[in-house]
Structure 1
Amino acid sequence: MAPRHEIAHVGHVELLTPEPDRSLRFFTQVMGLTENGRDGDSVYLRTWDDYEHHTLKLTAHDTSGIRRTGLRASSQEALERRVQAIEDAGLGIGWRDGDPGIGPTYLFRDPDGHELEVYWESERYAPPPELAPALKNQAQAYPARGVCVRRLDHVNFLGAEVEPSTEFLQDVLGASPTEQIMLDSGRVSGRWMHFTNKSYDIVYTRDWTGANGRLHHIAFATDTREDILRAADIFLDNGVHIETGPHKHAIQQTFFLYVYEPGGNRIELCNPCARLILAPDWDLITWTEAERAKGQAWGLKTIESFHTHGTPPIP
């Protein structure tokens, strides 16, 4: 098993959209992210308390989905060790120049085909005067626009099978599972993985279509649960499709709201944004099919689209 804590956190994601103008308005005016540069068909966006250059790279494309997920290593030495482990696993793609604000980046794939990158060098965000915060330990002034999400919290991938990719994260990147769903057949249909003390950073859930490399959702953290309740009204006012919630998950106990952004990608708002796992000998929690059939924490049944909708769409 790889050493723990050699991956510090999920740094950013690149999201594809066939509706670039509408998606950009959604993320800036409705979600409250701040634009921090453009490059060709891509726009770099950041949450207000992200210390790095960008949180989200939004790229115009002929379909939806996630192109790449960025992981920051905990040091240059950790980066080199993880790259060697990835290459030994036979899933490396190679080095490339990073996007703005990011140093040399190593590209690779998980066993299901999702593309990821790992890096160490990262430029601290320096806000212009109009975005300078009054509190010096805050990356940027609170924008007071739309939902005003604070940071990227986690990524939930869909996979044809859950076990190979989660075992790859564990054996090669040093992640650990905190909770999982075990079907009566013995197959794992969902597994929540973490790198440090958050209860989860990357989730894999089984894709009922059997497809590879798709996205279930990306999640942004809010300051409070009340922010999510207010967000539901904001989404309603802006014609954003609310899929399910506000409600509370049984798994991980996250208060949630799921919507579709205009390009079709599922977006979650979450709070508490992943519990802290302080026990170094945490016991993996397994949920059975019967337990999951009871629904979410307060009894709401999981809606059908939660199992069938993913991006890019399957014809």
Structure 2
Amino acid sequence: MAPRHDIAHLAHVQLLTPRLDDSVRFFTDFLGLRVVGAEGNQVYLHAWDDYQHHTLTLRGHRHAGIARTHLRTASPESLTRRVAAIEAAGHGRGWVDGEPGFGPTYVFTDPDGHEFGLYYEAEWFESGDAFRPALKNQAAAYPNTGVPARRLDHVNFLGKTPVDNRDFMVEALGAMTTEQILLDDGTVGAAWTTFTNKSYDIVYTRDNLGHSGRLHHIAFAADSRHDILRACDVALDLGVFIETGPHKHAIQQTFFLYLYEPGGNRIELCNAGARLVLAPDWKRVDWSEAERAKGQAWGLRTIESFHTHGTPTAEELASLGQEDGNQD
């Protein structure tokens, strides 16, 4: 098992969208992210309390989905150790120049084919006069639009075999598995892993349609449950599609709201950071099929689309003649 905390945190996501302009409006008008740069078909956006140059890259593409998930290491030495472990596991692709604000980046994949980037060098966000906060321990001024997302919280991937991805996160990257779903046949249906004291950073859920490399959702943290309740009314006025919620998950106890951005990607607004895992010898919590059949924490039944919708969609994959969701 790899040393804990070589990975400092989940840092940044590249998201694909076939409706780039509409997706930008969703993330700015609804989630309060700010555009901090653009290049070609890529737009860089910043969440108001992210210390780094940008939080999310939106890339215009023929279908929705996730391109690359970036993790920052705790030190240059941590980066060297994790690159060696990834290469030993046979999942490395090699070094590339980082996006604006990120230094040299080592690209690799998980066993399911999702692409990741690992880096240490990072440019800190400079607010300038336009976004200068009143409190100097805050990255940028609190936005006055939408229901502002404070930071990127977690990513939930769809995959053929969650246990393989879970073990890769643990053995190559030093993650801890905090909770998981054990199916009646003994296989793992989903696994929640963390690099930090947050209860989870990366989640793997079994793709019930049998595809590889797809995205279930990315999540942004709101300050409070009240913000999530307010988001429902803001979504209504802006014409944003609400898939399910607001409600509380049984697993991880996250207060949630799920929506679709215009490109088709599922987005969660959550209050996940309120629950921390401080025990270094945390005892993993396993949930059975019977327990999960009871629904969410307060009895809400899990909506059917939660088990089928991912990006790219099955229809998009069929039209493209592709098997893997993360291929260009």
Q: Give the TM-score normalised by structure 1.
A: 0.99
1:240-290, CA deviations, whole angstroms, 9 ceiling, x for partnerless residues? 110000000000000000000000000000014261111111000000000
Structure 2 residue 294 is the aligned partner of structure 1 residue 266:
no
1:1-315 matched pairs, under 5 angstroms:
1-273=1-273, 275-315=275-315
1:98-146, CA deviations, whole angstroms, 9 ceiling, x for partnerless residues? 0001100000000000000000000111111021111010000001110
Whether contact under 8 Å (1:225, 1:272) holds in the other structure is no
1:163-190, CA deviations, whole angstroms, 9 ceiling, x for partnerless residues? 1111000000000100000010111111
Whether contact under 8 Å (2:30, 2:147) holds in the other structure is yes
Whether contact under 8 Å (1:200, 1:274) holds in the other structure is no
Whether contact under 8 Å (1:102, 1:123) holds in the other structure is yes
- Residue aligned with 1:218, SS: strand
Q: Taking every aligned residue pair, what percent have the same amino acid on both sides?
A: 65
- Residue aligned with 1:131, SS: coil
Once residues 158 and 39 of structure 1 are traced to their aligned partners in structure 2, the CA distance between those partners, rounded to angstroms, is: 29
Whether contact under 8 Å (1:31, 1:147) holds in the other structure is yes
How far is 1:196 from its partner?
Answer: 1.5
Once residues 130 and 159 of structure 1 are traced to their aligned partners in structure 2, the CA distance between those partners, rounded to angstroms, is: 42
Unpaired runs of 5+ residues, structure 2, are 316-328
User: RMSD between aligned alpha carbons?
Assistant: 0.6
Aligned partner letter, 1:121: E
Aligned partner letter, 1:188: V
Once residues 258 and 274 of structure 2 are traced to their aligned partners in structure 1, the CA distance between those partners, rounded to angstroms, is: 16
Aligned partner letter, 2:215: L
Once residues 217 and 152 of structure 2 are traced to their aligned partners in structure 1, the CA distance between those partners, rounded to angstroms, is: 12
Aligned partner letter, 1:129: D
Aligned to 2:324: none
Aligned partner letter, 1:51: Y
1:181-237, CA deviations, whole angstroms, 9 ceiling, x for partnerless residues? 001011111100000211100000000011000000000000010000000111111
Aligned partner letter, 2:130: E
- Residue aligned with 2:314, SS: coil
Aligned to 2:319: none
Once residues 67 and 158 of structure 1 are traced to their aligned partners in structure 2, the CA distance between those partners, rounded to angstroms, is: 13
Once residues 272 and 69 of structure 1 are traced to their aligned partners in structure 2, the CA distance between those partners, rounded to angstroms, is: 19
Once residues 122 and 4 of structure 1 are traced to their aligned partners in structure 2, the CA distance between those partners, rounded to angstroms, is: 21
- Residue aligned with 2:189, SS: strand
Whether contact under 8 Å (1:252, 1:274) holds in the other structure is no
Once residues 198 and 273 of structure 2 are traced to their aligned partners in structure 1, the CA distance between those partners, rounded to angstroms, is: 8
Aligned partner letter, 1:87: E
- Residue aligned with 1:87, SS: helix
Aligned partner letter, 1:163: V
Give the number of aligned pairs: 315
- Residue aligned with 2:139, SS: coil
Aligned partner letter, 1:57: T
CA separation of 1:160/1:107 partners in 2, compared to 1, >3 Å: closer, same or farther? same
- Residue aligned with 1:62, SS: coil
Question: Which shifted more, 268-277 or 123-132?
Answer: 268-277
Unpaired runs of 5+ residues, structure 1, are none
Once residues 278 and 306 of structure 2 are traced to their aligned partners in structure 1, the CA distance between those partners, rounded to angstroms, is: 30
Aligned partner letter, 1:291: E
How far is 1:39 from its partner?
Answer: 1.1
How far is 1:46 from its partner?
Answer: 0.8
